[in-house]
Amino acid sequence: MSRKETGGFKRSYNDKIFDVADTVILVVLLFVFLWPLWFVLIASFSDYNAVASGQVFLWPKGLTLGGYQEVFKYDTLWRGYANTIFYSVVGTTVNMIMTVCCAYPLSCKDFKPRKVIMYVLMFTMYFSGGLIPTYLVVKSLGLLSTRWAMIIPGAVSFYNCLIVRSYFMNSIPTELKEASTLDGANAAQYLVKVVLPLSKPVLAVVALYYFVGHWNDYYNALIYIYDKDLYPLQSILKNLLCDVQSTMDMGGMDTEFLSQLYARKQIMKYSVIIVSMIPVLMIYPFVQKYFVKGVMVGAVKG
Amino acid sequence: MAKRNAGIVKKKAPLSQRIAKELRHNWILYLMILPVLIYYIIFSYTPMYGITIAFKDYKVKQGILGSAWVGLKHFKRFFGVYNFTNLLKNTLTLSIYSLLVGFPIPIIFALILNYSTKPVLKKATQMISYAPHFISTVVVCGMLQLFLDKNTGVFNSVRALFGLEGISFLSNEHMFKHIYVWSGVWQGMGWSAIIYISSLAGVDYELHEAAIIDGASKIQRMRYIDIPSITPTIVMLLILQLGGLMSVGFEKAYLLQNSLNSPASSIISTYVYEQGLTNASYDYSTAVGLFNTVVNVILLVSSNTFSKKVLNESLF
């Protein structure tokens, strides 16, 4: 009896330490996730000299909109922004149509070539031609340095098809299909009127994946786009943020003026990051609640 | 009735008729999947055929078919190139380091979240932990450049508070792997944890109740109930990760690369890009890429086979 009690005491004591440690770790992690983003936000509103000298850490200092004024004057960036909106909207539309066209037949049990097609497409997930062979195909189709090079080579991702397919198979009751067949609906009517409205959560998640993929796409532009007018936002961000050279080359001019210019340019980098993230941040809260579902459905073995 | 008769007779119609019937019955489905198949034939299977240029002396004018076969010439060249071991070493260092750190951390994070007694904190941390996943590689690299700047970066400002001198993190080849891996952890850990969080939520609570009655502490419950319950998920994801061991993210390495850290940041995928698009040696670059893919496939298949035999879990 007494042993059990001490055991119990020890347990609750251990568990208390555990709970405290657990909470501390979570608070630290919350800070780790949030702080870099928070810092970019406050730095974008702060005076650059305060940022550079390390006075900005948790709150903005010397409030200014200079960075944002600089961003609004930067035409190249806005052209990239417009291009990216085009690539993301058109690209995601194409992606969603293709994904449903792929996922729905593969979810129908009476579709005979289902298994063969599954294997054929699954293979592409593990083995691909690689950079140059794909580049040569895109080139031979005449897509190089056109807007379509940002959309067509990535028209569908089989991984996302699998997510949608398993949702169709596992979350839509088969009775509905029987009922609608009895009512004389064909496969297309059933898909549009019954399946798609019932699949909104998974479609929202997959659309978000695609949209963010397009929004953040730098790779395709690097390889396929040579025309600067067609550059997406990320290519322009790359030149702005990751080019060490551009910030160092300044010599022989009025130093006071130059250091001002430099400061504005540096602060603009923070502002640009914020401006570039706005659309994704706007969609994020709406779709966020479906994430867990989307990821879990995708984990179901194909 | 008709169906039952067909079953009794058991005489199959000729193949062409059966195909015609299937097509008539499911024509909508065939029509839907057609563009998808065309897409995969053009953008996945045609490039697979294009891999043959790895064994050829590719001349643009002569095309893939017309170019002369050269056997393993490009592979031999790659294995003999002066920085071959360096490329391989960097690729493996980054990928193994990423795996060792990036794989267990989301599992631990999910367990910690699962045992949190503060619902609001738990929810907030979980929600915010996904956010970095949605930030583009370009922006992450830009943030790294800004934060790690030798004179103005906030990391060096913090170091200055402790009287330490500024370091040019990104110009240091020894720092590169840590920057690469830990920024990857920051970006990916919340997202990768989702799957474990969901598996943990699915663990039968009766097991926990029984364990509590038996006097198990939280750590013991974690060790003997939760971890065994999510092992299948862990194994499945581990196989997938092993299969991608050689495909270290091109973008981040490419974007963070500069002349000073390149001894550590040149990896196979950046080399493929350099050779293929900067130098336009299509055939050679394809050979290097193929080497990489083949190693990946071998790793995937062998880890899958291993886990099928030893753990009875497998992906395919």
Query: Mind listing the pLDDT tens digit for each residue in A56-101?
Result: 888 888 888 888 888 888 888 999 999 999 999 999 999 999 999 9
My answer on whether B183 and B295 are in the same domain is yes
- The verdict on residue B47 lying in a domain is yes
> pLDDT band for position B11 (50/70/90)?
low
Measured between CA atoms, how close is A195 to chain B, in angstroms? 14
Query: Which are the contacts of B6, defined by CB distance < 8 A and separation ≥ 6?
Result: none
Per-residue pLDDT for B315 more than 50? yes
My answer on whether B24 and B130 are in the same domain is no
Q: How far apart are CA B195 and CA B107, in angstroms?
A: 9
8 Å CB contact of A136 and B138? no
Indicate the average pLDDT of chain A: 85
- The verdict on residue A17 lying in a domain is no
Per-residue pLDDT for B76 more than 70? yes
Size of interface A-B (CB pairs under 8 A): 265
- The verdict on residue B6 lying in a domain is no
Q: How far apart are CA B244 and CA A194, in angstroms?
A: 38
Measured between CA atoms, how close is A197 to chain B, in angstroms? 18
- At residue A7, the pLDDT reads 53
Using CB atoms, which residue from B151, B216, B276 is nearest to A131?
Answer: B276
**Element holding B288 (H helix, E strand):** helix B282-310
- Residue % of chain A over a pLDDT of 90: 45
My answer on whether B56 and B191 are in the same domain is no
**Looking at beta carbons, which residues of chain B come within 8 Å of A135?**
276-277
Q: In the structure encoding, which two tokens stand for residue A90, read together?
A: 């058109």
Q: In the structure encoding, which two tokens stand for residue B204, read together?
A: 């039968």
Cα of B195 vs its chain's centroid, Å: 15
Per-residue pLDDT for A3 more than 50? no
My answer on whether B113 and B184 are in the same domain is yes
**Looking at beta carbons, which residues of chain A come within 8 Å of B42?**
137, 141
Per-residue pLDDT tens over the stretch B220-254: 898 999 999 888 888 888 887 887 777 777 888 99
Using CB atoms, which residue from B134, B186, B233 is nearest to A32?
Answer: B186
Average pLDDT of the residues in A226-234: 93
Query: Which are the contacts of A226, defined by CB distance < 8 A and separation ≥ 6?
Result: A144, A145
Q: What is the DSSP string of chain A?
A: -HHHHHHHHHHHHHHHHHHHHHHHHHHHHHHHHHHHHHHHHHHHTS-HHHHHTT--SSS--S---HHHHHHHH-HHHHHHHHHHHHHHHHHHHHHHHHHHHHHHHHH-TT-TTHHHHHHHHHHHHH----HHHHHHHHHHTT-TTSGGGGTSTTS--HHHHHHHHHHHHHHS-HHHHHHHHHTT--HHHHIIIIIHHHTHHHHHHHHHHHHHHHHT--HHHHHH---GGG--HHHHHHHHHS-HHHHH---SS-HHHHHHHHHHHHHHHHHHHHHHHHHHHHHHHHHGGGHHHHHHHHHS--
Distances (CA, A) of B226 to A214, A295, B108, B112: 37, 20, 11, 11
Q: Answer positive or negative: Cα dihedral of A103, A109, A113, A118.
A: positive
Cα of B309 vs its chain's centroid, Å: 24
Model pTM score: 0.87
Per-residue pLDDT tens over the stretch A203-226: 988 998 899 999 999 999 999 999
| Spatial contact of A280 and A215, defined as CB atoms under 8 Å apart | yes
- The verdict on residue A192 lying in a domain is yes
- Report the number of distinct structural domains present in chain A: 1
CATH code assigned at A116: 1.10.3720.10
**Looking at beta carbons, which residues of chain B come within 8 Å of A148?**
none
Measured between CA atoms, how close is A291 to chain B, in angstroms? 8
My answer on whether B246 and B106 are in the same domain is yes
**Looking at beta carbons, which residues of chain B come within 8 Å of A244?**
145, 258
CB-based burial of residue A257 (10 Å sphere; 0-12 exposed, 13-18 middle, 19+ buried)? exposed
Average pLDDT of the residues in B14-20: 85
Using CB atoms, which residue from B129, B255, B290 is nearest to A33?
Answer: B129
My answer on whether B117 and B151 are in the same domain is yes
| Spatial contact of B119 and B125, defined as CB atoms under 8 Å apart | no
| Spatial contact of B186 and A36, defined as CB atoms under 8 Å apart | yes
**Element holding B68 (H helix, E strand):** strand B68-69
- The verdict on residue B316 lying in a domain is no
Q: Read off the amino acid at residue A130.
A: G
Query: Which are the contacts of B71, defined by CB distance < 8 A and separation ≥ 6?
Result: B55
Residue whose tokens read 């293979």? A123
Q: What is the dihedral of CA A94, A100, A105, A109, to 10 degrees?
A: 160
Nearest-by-CA chain A residue for B151 = A52
- The verdict on residue A1 lying in a domain is no
Distances (CA, A) of B29 to A183, A195, A282: 19, 14, 36
- The verdict on residue B122 lying in a domain is yes
> pLDDT band for position A136 (50/70/90)?
very high
Per-residue pLDDT for B31 more than 60? yes
My answer on whether B65 and B91 are in the same domain is no
Query: Which are the contacts of B84, defined by CB distance < 8 A and separation ≥ 6?
Result: B78
Q: Which residues of A66-79 are buried (b: 16+ CB within 10 A; e: fewer)?
A: bbbebbeebeebeb
Q: How far apart are CA B96 and CA B263, in angstroms?
A: 18
- The verdict on residue A217 lying in a domain is yes
- At residue A246, the pLDDT reads 45
My answer on whether B26 and B92 are in the same domain is no
CATH code assigned at B94: 1.10.3720.10
Distances (CA, A) of B89 to A96, A214, B85, B264: 40, 32, 6, 9
Per-residue pLDDT for A10 more than 70? no
Per-residue pLDDT tens over the stretch B240-297: 788 777 777 788 899 988 888 888 889 999 999 999 999 989 999 999 999 998 988 8
Q: What is the dihedral of CA B291, A150, A160, B304, to 10 degrees?
A: 0
Using CB atoms, which residue from B22, B134, B186 is nearest to A284?
Answer: B134
Q: In the structure encoding, which two tokens stand for residue A177, read together?
A: 């299909």
**Looking at beta carbons, which residues of chain B come within 8 Å of A277?**
135, 139
Q: How far apart are CA B276 and CA B265, in angstroms?
A: 18
> pLDDT band for position A236 (50/70/90)?
very high
Q: In the structure encoding, which two tokens stand for residue A100, read together?
A: 């449903």
| Spatial contact of A170 and B50, defined as CB atoms under 8 Å apart | no
Query: Which are the contacts of B115, defined by CB distance < 8 A and separation ≥ 6?
Result: A18, A19, A22, B218, B222
**Looking at beta carbons, which residues of chain B come within 8 Å of A41?**
none
Domain housing B26? 15-69
| SS3 label, residue B57 | strand
Measured between CA atoms, how close is A153 to chain B, in angstroms? 6
My answer on whether B183 and B251 are in the same domain is yes
- The verdict on residue B5 lying in a domain is no
8 Å CB contact of B136 and A215? yes
My answer on whether B40 and B156 are in the same domain is no
Average pLDDT of the residues in A137-162: 93
| Spatial contact of B290 and B269, defined as CB atoms under 8 Å apart | no
- The verdict on residue A33 lying in a domain is no
Q: Read off the amino acid at residue B151.
A: N
Q: In the structure encoding, which two tokens stand for residue B65, read together?
A: 């078919």
8 Å CB contact of A30 and B143? no
| Tally of CA atoms within 13 A in the half-sphere of B192 that contains its CB | 22
- At residue A63, the pLDDT reads 83
- At residue A244, the pLDDT reads 56
Choose from B27, B33, B37, B165 for mutation: most chain A CBs within 10 A: B33
Query: Which are the contacts of A280, defined by CB distance < 8 A and separation ≥ 6?
Result: A211, A212, A215, B134
**Looking at beta carbons, which residues of chain B come within 8 Å of A29?**
109, 112, 125, 129
- Report the number of distinct structural domains present in chain B: 2
8 Å CB contact of A130 and B289? yes
Q: How far apart are CA B266 and CA B254, in angstroms?
A: 8
- The verdict on residue A206 lying in a domain is yes
Per-residue pLDDT for A193 more than 80? yes
**Looking at beta carbons, which residues of chain A come within 8 Å of B137?**
216, 218
8 Å CB contact of B138 and A241? yes
Max avg pLDDT among B61-70, B131-140, B153-162: B131-140
Domain housing A148? 72-232+289-299
> pLDDT band for position A298 (50/70/90)?
low
Q: How far apart are CA B267 and CA B246, in angstroms?
A: 10
Average pLDDT of the residues in A29-54: 89
- At residue A125, the pLDDT reads 86
Per-residue pLDDT for A228 more than 80? yes
Per-residue pLDDT for A300 more than 70? no
Q: In B154-281, which ranges are continuous DSSP H helix?
A: 154-161, 176-201, 205-213, 218-221, 227-243, 250-256, 262-265, 268-273
My answer on whether B126 and B51 are in the same domain is no
Q: In the structure encoding, which two tokens stand for residue A159, read together?
A: 């991984």
Using CB atoms, which residue from A18, A132, A137 is nearest to B286?
Answer: A132
- The verdict on residue B58 lying in a domain is yes
Query: Which are the contacts of A4, defined by CB distance < 8 A and separation ≥ 6?
Result: B215
8 Å CB contact of B142 and A241? yes
**Looking at beta carbons, which residues of chain B come within 8 Å of A100?**
32
- The verdict on residue A156 lying in a domain is yes
Choose from A132, A225, A275 for mutation: most chain B CBs within 10 A: A132
- The verdict on residue A158 lying in a domain is yes
- Residue % of chain B over a pLDDT of 70: 96
- At residue A229, the pLDDT reads 93
Candidates A68, A272, A269, A104; CA nearest to A187 is: A104
